[in-house]
Amino acid sequence: MKPITEYQDYRKYMLDYFDWRKRSSAFSWREFSKLAGFASPSYLKLVCDGKSSLSRVGVPQVAAAMGLKDHEFEYFKLMVDFTNATDDERKKEVFRKMTEVANEQRARVLDADAFDYYESAVNSIVRELAPLMPGALPGELAKKIKHTFTAQQVRDSLKLLVKLDIIKALGENVYEQTDKVITGSGEALALALRSMNGQMIDLAREAVEKIAPGERNISGVTIGVDETAVKRVFEEVNRFRKQVIAIAGESKKINQVYRLNLQFFPLTEKV
């Protein structure tokens, strides 16, 4: 099996454990539940199918049944909290603890890099801005950003970007972008993207007040649609976003960092 730190969803880990045991023996859900001390022979299957959630009381029982001890048990316990949490702030707090447990064991947490990068809007801004201002101190970079970010936030962002190899230092306060692309697919990535998109929407709201109309383009339209129209709009938005990226790639002398937010979302329930 893969190391436990490469999982974010405890149900997926339990299911992979079950499949791993079953490949080499006549392991069954009944036996799994019995080992964990549950009377119901199908309880753990219901948990893995997402029809029930593992309670705090059941965590040590299931962990013991899978032979998890020390940091693996601690990580599994946090993974249950992470998966069961319904509040984004709570999920972020628990994921950071999962990363700390893994780091203590020099283990890899899947999507941890993507989580760190996308959690804050400042990282994508600094990634674009720092190479444009060779020799600039963090405070000077912060002053160039039209929204309120501190020198310390910029300094921390630079350290993270270098650590993740998104930019590399060519000299003192001199950086260039690398070709590294931050990707992922787990719940932690989705959580970080929600955080960053929310921050970027807040920055767009600020721009309405702080940025001159000639420097921004913020507009919208409220429309009625059916399912076919929604699908077509999604496709057009995705196509347009790719066109914008291509246009930006043709820039000969970059001297400013912009953000494009594409927002198309339902305002009502279906009638």
Q: Closest by alpha carbon to 261, among 243, 237, 225, 232?
A: 237
Q: Enumerate the domain spans of the chain.
A: 4-105
Return the residue matching tokens 């350290």. Answer: 159
Return the residue matching tokens 């927002």. Answer: 263
Average pLDDT in the 127-150 region? Answer: 94
73 in Cβ contact with 60 (< 8 Å): yes
Q: CA dist 115 to 108, 188, 209, Å?
A: 13, 6, 30
pTM across the whole model = 0.73
pLDDT of residue 45: 93
Residue 22 has pLDDT above 80, yes or no: yes
pLDDT category at 30 given cuts 50, 70, 90 is: very high
Residue 249 has pLDDT above 70, yes or no: yes
- What is the rounded distance in angstroms from the CA atom of residue 64 to the CA atom of residue 54? 14
Residue 180 has pLDDT above 70, yes or no: yes
* 169 membership: H or E segment, kind and range: strand 167-171
- The conformational region for residue 222 under phi > 0 = left, psi -120 to 50 = alpha, else beta, is beta
> For 116, phi and psi rounded to 5 degrees?
-60, -40
pLDDT per residue over 209-238, tens digit each? 989 999 999 989 999 999 999 999 999 999
pLDDT of residue 110: 66
Q: Closest by alpha carbon to 186, among 62, 68, 13, 21?
A: 13
pLDDT per residue over 60-77, tens digit each? 999 999 999 999 999 999
| Least confident piece of the model among 63-67, 74-78, 98-102, 137-141 | 98-102
